[in-house]
Structure 1
Amino acid sequence: MRIKSTKIALASAAIIAISGCSNAVAGDAKYDAGATDTEIRIGNTMPYSGQGSAWSLLGKSEAAYFEKVNAEGGVNGRKIKFISYDDGYSPPKTVEQVRRLVENDEVLLIFSPFGVPTNTAIHKYLNAKKIPQLFVGGGGSKWNDPKNFPWTMGFQPSFLNEGRAYGQYLAANHPNGKIAVLYQHDDYGKDILGGLKQGLGPKASMIVAEASYEVSMPTIDSQVVQLKASGADIFMNFTGPKFAAQAIRKAAELGWKPVHILNIPAASIGSVIKPAGFEISQGIISGGFLKDASDPAMADDPGVKSYLAFLEKYYPGADVTSTGNTQGYVMAQVLTQVLKQAGNDLTRENIMRQAANLKDLEFDMLMPGIKIKTSSDDFAPVEAIQLRQLVGERWQPFGPVIEATAGP
């Protein structure tokens, strides 16, 4: 399968290669492997196949954005060569593909590799090699540990912080509720569940039932039946896209109508809500940090206009409702900013120095009040969360932006 707009070839290993030539960059330059006067090679892994394939839109959107960057002259006169391989959301495959990127393709850095378990598998390897593991596509709290892992940086709000935000909201607004939690049985699910308990604080006893699942399972119907039987009137749906849609449908089939909170990675209108059914999804609450380009109320927003123009030119046919496409776009914008700041010092050490020096930056598709900021002792670019509720076919923000970096 080939998608022309993003130059993706999906085979046993999906490869995206966007490159070109430019005039040599003037002045003295410092390079590590993966950078020259004319090119910057960036490596990436994505689940283009397998259980996590719904998240592969991140990589496709990123590829399209780098195509735009190259068409406009590149970064400081250098074109970006974006090499993205399919890892099938399998940690052993991720290790294999990342070694290939580092040792064969000799990329300057690994950008936006997706998944908590998959990134965990390459975490120590990349830090030992002193190769940036930059803007991890997954909200594990472990990505913000500059003291022990100075070559790894996350991007989106950590799952721990996201869970805290939901806990704080529930403790304040549903203090007498009974909570049932469905979560993925890995660091991803455990992080957000731990954050929920921290956010609830003394109200953590509100949790009356927990059920986990493995990504290899075909269905989570039995878990939803179990959670409904607990008598809970609040359902925390901490899952991936496929299982989130299943859980929404199963809850409706059972006639269970709890306060339903869905985590950010599974809050895509296009990948989750639409397949599950808009009618049975009404009132679901989630967090967010990205604008909704399909919201008619945002039609005149300059950032949304810019994003839609990008899609039309470089990614035709893209699902405008997908948060995966939007997040990939923003992440590619932020990496481009890091490369611009790096100037002619394209060493890996300077890449990390610049990534840790982002000061209250605003980008097209970040929600109002949410900015990118990092420092040498805080590797979390996005820490704020905006709560939203599904109304009709779109997410409607409500309440204040939550900086859930600590317990209640």
Structure 2
Amino acid sequence: MSVINLRLGAFAAALALLAATSSGAFAQKKYDVGASDTEIKIGNIMPYSGPASAYGVIGKTEEAYFRKINAEGGINGRKINFVSYDDAYSPPKTVEQARKLVESDEVLLIFQPLGTPPNTAIQKYMNTKKVPQLFVATGATKWNDPKDFPWTMGWQPNYQSESQIYAKYIMKEKPNAKIAILYQNDDYGKDYVKGLRDGLGAKAASMIVIEESYEVSQPTIDSSIVKLKSTDADVFFNVTTPKFTAQAIKKMNEIGWKPMHILNNVSVSIGSVMKPAGFENSQGIISSAYLKDPTDAQWKNDAGMKAWNEFLDKYYPEANRADASVIYGYTVAQTLVQVLKQCGDNLTRENVMKQAASIKNLELGGLLPGVKINTSPTDFAPLSQLQLMRFKGETWERFGDVLSGDVGG
């Protein structure tokens, strides 16, 4: 009996020693709801229908990328379960879908919900629930507010920084410009207008001759374009989403209005904007980029773009490769994969945000050379660099240096 006890005691001691000297992986596994040994459940909300449905392709690209990751063994052995719902770009619907994802589907986090008004509608809820609202698909400046909203983080360069870069360009090229602004009447549109005004400084009052807003529910903005032309403005700052951008470009051509046309970079897709609007109508438009343009021949032999094309061939062959939203969705999905890899076996919501806030000089294949992803506990703006570009022929041509805007959180 005592020999058996002795052996059991020795066995227990050996086990204890093994546990103490092993990597401790078993002991250190930590999960919140939505994560397990086999799965990471990620929620997503996209406008697959409604006025911003052109962006639905972002969700489809992300879903395809996570299928690729799963086919290759997942993240640290765990498969991604990607649950994506449609909110039709309607904030009340966004609230409904966010509650469903958090309370019914029990996701670990909500990744890349799209649009400024939809994200504004769920921001307080997500932060009260302490569920990551991670890499939101909107460049509003307010997503970089780790003090008041530690569970919300942006991804793309913010709208005010972008506008300030345009303001610098206008003042250099047309110091006596008469600027007409068309903007969507919500936080997204107002953020861009504020950035331009701040960038122009004291000259804003004399340079901006009209600020015209439109509602996302409107069928057309044709009458606004006619009104803007009547002011004799020689610079047009176009703060619209893809459907309305294409309308604006067509109408401007129809009425013969040819100002310097500056377009926000959320609507620069050749596939969903420039081509439908007509390449001949889009010549000379100025915007900015932080992602490689898949239609640009200079990236033909680029390793990052080759990998992107191979991914699409296998997992999303029907994708429109001229649509900038596809390279966007791919690159932000890669950023999330990096964060989840950094989490290791500690898949708590708190650690997801901690890892998202400690990205250092991350370079991804879809980003322009020199553009890197950086975050810290006090900086929730992963991307802040842009390069100006001009539409020529059937593609965008970049010019000048990679620039940073002046806006933080």
TM-score (norm 2): 0.92
User: What amino acid is the match of 2:71?
Assistant: A
Q: CA deviation at 1:27?
A: 5.7
**Distance in 1, Cα, partners of 2:66 & 2:310:** 15
2:108–2:349 contact (8 Å) kept in structure 1: yes
Equivalence for 1:82 = 82
Structure 1: give runs of 5+ residues left out of the alignment. Answer: 1-24
Aligned to 2:168: 168
What is the rounded CA distance, in whole Å, between the counterparts of 1:166 and 1:108 in structure 2? 38
Equivalence for 1:340: 341
Give the equivalent residue in structure 1 for 2:295.
Answer: 294
Say whether 1:314 aligns with 2:319.
no
What amino acid does structure 1 have at the position aligned with 2:152?
Answer: T
> Which amino acid in the other structure matches residue 307 of structure 2?
S
Secondary structure of residue in 2 paired with 1:152: coil
1:385 corresponds to which residue? 386
Output the CA distance in 2 between the equivalents of 1:317 and 1:128.
40
Amino acid at match of 2:98: V
Amino acid at match of 1:328: G
Alpha-carbon distance between aligned partners in 2 of 1:403 and 1:74, rounded to the nearest angstrom? 35
CA–CA distance in structure 2, aligned partners of residues 192 and 364 of structure 1: 28
Measured in 2, the distance between the counterparts of 1:380 and 1:406 equals 10
CA RMSD across the alignment = 1.0
Partner Cα distance (2:54, 2:26) in 1: 42
Per-residue CA distance 1:296-338 (angstroms, 9 max, x = gap): 1210111111111111111001111111111100000000000
Q: Is the 8 A contact 1:362 1:370 kept in 2?
A: yes
CA contact (8 A) 2:180 2:236 kept: yes
1:128-163 CA-to-partner distances (Å, cap 9, x unmatched) read: 000000000011111000000000000101111111
| Equivalent residue runs for 1:397-408 within 5 Å | 397-406=398-407
Q: Is contact 2:127-2:150 (8 Å) kept? A: yes
Per-residue deviation, residues 153-209 of structure 1 (Å, max 9, x unmatched): 001011111111111111122111111000000000000010011111222121111
CA distance in 1, matches of 2:383, 2:298: 24
1:304/1:364 contact within 8 Å kept: yes
Deviations 1:41-94 (A, max 9, x none): 000000000111001111011001000000000000000000000001000000
Report the AA paired with residue 303 of structure 1. Answer: G
Distance (Å, rounded) in 2 between the aligned partners of 1:400 and 1:175: 21
User: Structure 2 counterpart of 1:149, which letter?
Assistant: F
Describe the SS at the equivalent of 1:217.
coil
SS in 1 for 2:42: strand
**Distance in structure 1 (CA, Å) of the matches to 2:202 and 2:302:** 41
Distance 1:198 1:167 in 2: 8
In the other structure, the counterpart of 1:67 is: 67
Equivalent residue number for residue 189 of structure 1: 189
Equivalence for 2:239: 238
Q: CA deviation at 1:405?
A: 2.1
1:366 equivalent in structure 2: 367
CA distance in 2, matches of 1:406, 1:79: 37
Indicate conservation of the 8 Å contact 1:383/1:405, yes or no. no
CA contact (8 A) 1:58 1:324 kept: yes
User: Do residues 251 (structure 1) and 252 (structure 2) align?
Assistant: yes
Q: Is the 8 A contact 1:383 1:403 kept in 2?
A: yes
The question of whether the paired residues in 2 share the 8 Å contact of 1:264 and 1:286 is answered with yes
Greater share of helix: 2
Work out whether residues 139 and 156 of structure 1, in 8 Å CA contact, stay in contact via their aligned partners in 2.
yes
User: Aligned AA for 2:49?
Assistant: S
Match of 1:136 in 2: 136
CA distance in 1, matches of 2:264, 2:116: 15
Deviation per residue, 1:107-146 (Å, 9 max, x gap): 0000000000000000000000000000000111110000
> Residue 49 in 1 paired to residue 54 in 2?
no
Equivalent in the alignment of 1:37: 37
The aligned counterpart of 1:92 is 92
Corresponding residue for 1:152?
152
State the alpha-carbon separation in 1 of the partners of residues 27 and 314 from structure 2: 34
- Residue aligning to 1:6: none
Whole-Å separation in 2 of the counterparts to 1:391 and 1:262? 14
Whether the 8 Å CA contact 2:160–2:407 is kept in 1: the answer is: no
Structure 1 equivalent of residue 202 of structure 2? 202
- Identity level (%): 60
Using the alignment, how far apart are the partners of 2:162 and 2:84 within structure 1? 28
Distance (Å, rounded) in 2 between the aligned partners of 1:240 and 1:291: 20
Moved more, 181-190 or 25-34: 25-34
Structure 2 unmatched ranges of 5 or more: 1-24
Q: 1:398 Cα deviation (Å)?
A: 0.4
Distance 1:203 1:73 in 2: 56
Could you tell me which amino acid in structure 2 is paired with residue 83 of structure 1? V
Deviates more, 1:161-170 or 1:103-112: 161-170
Per the alignment, do residues 88 and 406 of structure 1 end up closer, same or farther by CA in structure 2, a change over 3 Å counting? closer
